[in-house]
Amino acid sequence: MGKGLVIVGGGPAGMMAGLLFARAGVPVTVLEKHRDFLRDFRGDTVHPSTLELFRELGLREALLQRPHDRVEKLSARVAGQRMEIADFRRLPVDSRFIALMPQWEFLDFVAGEAARYPTFTLRMEAEAIGLRRDTAGRVDGVRLADGSVAAADFVIAADGRRSVLREAAKLPLEDLGAPIDVFWFRLPKADPGGDNETMGVFETGRVFVQIDRGDYWQCAYVFAKGEADAVRTRGLPAFRAEIGTLVPALSKAAEALTDWEQAKLLSVSLDRLTRWHMPGLLAIGDAAHAMSPAGGVGINLAVQDAVAAANILAAAMAAGKDPDGLAPLVQKRRMLPVRIVQRMQKMIHDNIIGALLDPDTRLTAPPLPVRLLDRHAMLRGIPARLVGLGVRREHIRSPDVSAGGRSDSGPEVPH
């Protein structure tokens, strides 16, 4: 051991892993193919589970100095009726809200904190195109687009749902199927003030989400998979009119859509690796399990993977030990929450969203579970807990080699 850890992908999983492994004293290099973090249309929901991790690191308040909006509850308009769905103020943690933070702000913050550790290196414009293996077939490095090789004792693939490394490793992938795609776009906000209003609209044949970003609306128009060209063929005037019908308050704002280039097509995937590892390599985050936008949980599951990987591997790697025997434990730890969340997302796709997008479906009243949530405030803590904290959430247990340590997490929470 001596070449250290190479992490491919500077997204939430990769950057969080980079911070935690460097904090444990492991030499770590994060390879990011872009020149900066400024990517539009990346997820930007930082859930209570993630905020609590940063609180445990003593970094939550510094993170919240970055631009963000707070969401304390979620509502929806279902069959023409406004329904209250989730209330994060009922969570049994200190962070009782979702922080809507541009992902580049989140990643830039994590990169800055990781850079405080001398064992951390971030290489931008370093595109991984494959793996290098030793004579025994063990992964011992990453091949880059410029022809160079980043040698490694161990590699973490955090390069997203179209992972080059998981393809190169031929890790087995199970496609669960997703019947939807999304147009993702911004609309200007006439009144930047007032309370944050994040809402979903569920009507016959249509699903629409508006996220209040302070001075603009981040919008998602959901439609059946493969129907993007059909939506475009109807033309922008028809698209703008449909937005105005779904959300009359956005009729004027929709006039800002003057070109289809403003609407980013997101092809929704729902899949997972059945094996996340091979000698010298571990996949985490979207590279191990692509999540649907339903619930906005993808970033937070990716961060939880990174924490679990550091909790299980970092101390051993810092001591110069071979992590191969421990890598399967990361999958074992994280597979249950992935399965549960994906099962829930699959149910939402097939029984709610997919059914709504069926032209033969007629939604005349909100379903009974939604009516119960709206009627009984106490019940709104259930979806808040599922979305905000998830299943088997992680806590920071990896070592901190910095003098005196940095944590405001208080007593250790039982594992």
In angstroms, the CA 283 to CA 54 distance is 23
| Neighbouring C-beta atoms of residue 161, cutoff 10 Å | 18
The letter for the amino acid at 115 is A
Residue 92 makes CB contacts below 8 A (sequence gap 6+) with none
E strands within 1-88? 5-8, 28-32, 45-46, 69-71, 73-78, 81-87
CA 260-298-278 angle, to 5 degrees, is: 115
338: its two tokens: 């992935």
110: its two tokens: 């994590």
Per DSSP bridges, beta strands 28-32 and 5-8 are: parallel
Backbone angles phi, psi at 295, to 5 degrees: 85, -10
In angstroms, the CA 394 to CA 308 distance is 7
In angstroms, the CA 77 to CA 200 distance is 6
Overall fold of domain 5-176+269-388: FAD/NAD(P)-binding domain (3.50.50)
Q: What is the end-to-end Cα distance of the chain in Å, rounded?
A: 29
In angstroms, the CA 70 to CA 51 distance is 12
pLDDT of amino acid 213: 76
In angstroms, the CA 346 to CA 294 distance is 9
Query: Using an 8 Å Cβ cutoff, are 299 and 103 in contact?
Result: yes
Q: Mutual orientation of helices 298-318 and 48-56 as an angle, nearest 10°?
A: 30
Q: Specify the DSSP class assigned to residue 37.
A: S
Q: Mutual orientation of helices 298-318 and 327-348 as an angle, nearest 10°?
A: 180
In angstroms, the CA 80 to CA 59 distance is 42
Tens digits of pLDDT across the chain (415 residues): 568 999 999 999 999 999 999 999 999 999 999 887 766 556 678 999 999 999 999 999 999 999 988 989 988 888 778 889 999 999 999 999 999 888 889 999 999 999 999 999 999 999 999 999 999 999 999 999 999 999 999 999 999 989 999 999 999 999 998 888 889 999 998 766 555 567 788 877 778 888 877 778 889 898 888 889 999 999 999 999 999 988 888 999 999 999 999 999 888 889 999 999 999 999 999 999 998 887 778 889 999 999 999 999 999 999 999 999 999 999 999 999 999 999 988 888 777 776 677 766 677 778 888 889 999 999 999 999 998 999 899 999 999 998 444 433 333 333 4
The letter for the amino acid at 69 is D
Query: Using an 8 Å Cβ cutoff, are 356 and 299 in contact?
Result: no
Q: Is 319 helix (H, G, I), strand (E, B) or coil?
A: coil
E strands within 176-293? 180-188, 199-203, 206-212, 216-224, 264-267, 271-273, 277-278, 281-283, 289-290
In angstroms, the CA 32 to CA 125 distance is 6
Radius of gyration of the chain (CA): 22
Written as one string, the DSSP assignment of 142-168 is: EEETTS-EEE-SEEEE---TT-HHHHH
In angstroms, the CA 182 to CA 341 distance is 20
User: Token match 């094996």: residue?
Assistant: 275
User: Token match 């944590």: residue?
Assistant: 407
| Neighbouring C-beta atoms of residue 371, cutoff 10 Å | 14
Measured on CA atoms in the order 296, 299, 300, 301, is the torsion positive or negative?
A: positive
